[in-house]
Amino acid sequence: MGVPTLFLTVPDLLDLLRFAFDAEGVTFEERFEQIRTAALLVLGDFGTQSATAWAQEKLFQIVNYRYINKLPLVVTTNASLDEIEERIRSRIQDPEIVSKVVIAAPDYRHPSDDKGHPELSSLDLHANKTFINFDDRGDEGLSLDTIKSLEKALKAATTFAAKPRGWLVLTGTYGCGKTHLAAAIANFRTDLGAPPLFVTGSDLLDHLRATFDKYSPVSYDRRFDEFRTTPVLILDDLTTQSITPGVREKLHQLFTYRYNAELPTVITTADTVDEMDARIRSRMLDKRLCTIYAITAPAFHGGKVRKTKR
């Protein structure tokens, strides 16, 4: 359209400025002015640059100049806004002149990863678990009450999968079918093109701890926010026993956020409700948001496959 446009990734922009110190024929000031005053400036991969004081200051000067003079600027980033330097963040969040667009699509370069949260989810380990092959265990001689507890949990899981709403908590001993139902919900939603985040309680904590590594590409706050704000969270095998006060506090923050925001959540646990952390338990007992189903069946050791229509 005849608009002179400067398109740069932020790391390349900073390299261009650094090289200008030794370049012949153009001074640093001239190069900086070309970037700062371009008719249209497009900055890609914002947030991937080395966060040195010099780099932060140069980026702030560029963004601030264009902000004050209302010059067109396009920024792309895979960083959360909380990870961007405070002064820059303040300017690119001004609703009067800034439009923010969030793209939720997966990486098109790796379409095989389109299962939702490939870095965090452990759903691949349960890809074969569906509502169709959930065993009703009718051939095990279980009591009528026990069979009814399985039937109620199955019905609740299928209802939630069709339309996630509120919290669904499945309790019972290890191997009773809780994980199968939770994974069936996740697989059902994935087939609909809306994959939830499926993660075990221990894996969630491991993902958070991994961010403390100095080579981690993701900050702790960003990773925690992914768990906290994901549209549908399925947290399998949660236990609040034998965990440190610090971990218990993070779990409390996670559940408090999802409770207040009324975000759909599935929790499976071998703990009884009375054994849960008191603050988390108080949210689970709110019948306006949460429904608890206790599966009283013993651990499953194999049997005939449930045969029913989807």
What pTM was computed for the model?
A: 0.67
Please give the DSSP secondary-structure letter assigned to residue 170: E
Tell me the domains of the chain and their CATH numbers: 5-92 (3.40.50.300), 111-294 (3.40.50.300)
Separation between Cα atoms, residue 204 and residue 198, nearest integer Å: 10
Please give the DSSP secondary-structure letter assigned to residue 293: E
- The pLDDT value recorded for residue 58 is 92
Q: Where residue 306 falls among pLDDT bands split at 50, 70, 90?
A: very low
Greatest alpha-carbon span in the chain = 89
* Distance set, CA 161 to CA 100, 199, 202, 212, 266 (Å): 31, 16, 24, 35, 10
Separation between Cα atoms, residue 286 and residue 265, nearest integer Å: 14
pLDDT single digits (tens) 171-228 = 999 999 999 999 999 999 999 988 999 999 999 989 988 888 877 878 888 888 889 9
Q: How many helices (DSSP H) and strands (DSSP E) are in the chain? A: 10, 8
Partners of 40 in beta bridges = 5
Please give the DSSP secondary-structure letter assigned to residue 306: P
Query: Residue 2 in 3-state DSSP?
Result: coil
Q: Is the pLDDT of residue 49 over 70?
A: no
Q: Is the pLDDT of residue 113 over 80?
A: no
- The pLDDT value recorded for residue 242 is 65
Residue among 274, 178, 151, 191 nearest 234 (CA): 178
**CB atoms closer than 10 angstroms to residue 300:** 15
Task: Please give the radius of gyration of the chain, using alpha carbons only, rounded to the nearest integer.
Answer: 25
Contacts of 290 (CB under 8 A, 6+ apart): 166, 167, 168, 169, 283, 284
Distance of CA 226 to the CA centre of its chain: 3
Contacts of 193 (CB under 8 A, 6+ apart): none
Instruction: Round the average pLDDT of the chain to a whole number and report it.
Output: 87
Determine the average pLDDT of the residues in 12-30. Answer: 85
Torsion angle in degrees (nearest 10) through CA of 90, 91, 94, 98:
-140
Q: Where residue 307 falls among pLDDT bands split at 50, 70, 90?
A: very low
β-strands 40-44, 265-269: how paired? unpaired
The DSSP string of 163-178 is S--SEEEEE-STTSSH
Q: Is residue 149 exposed (0-12), middle (13-18) or buried (19+ Cβ within 10 Å)? A: buried
Determine the average pLDDT of the residues in 92-119. Answer: 72
- The pLDDT value recorded for residue 18 is 87
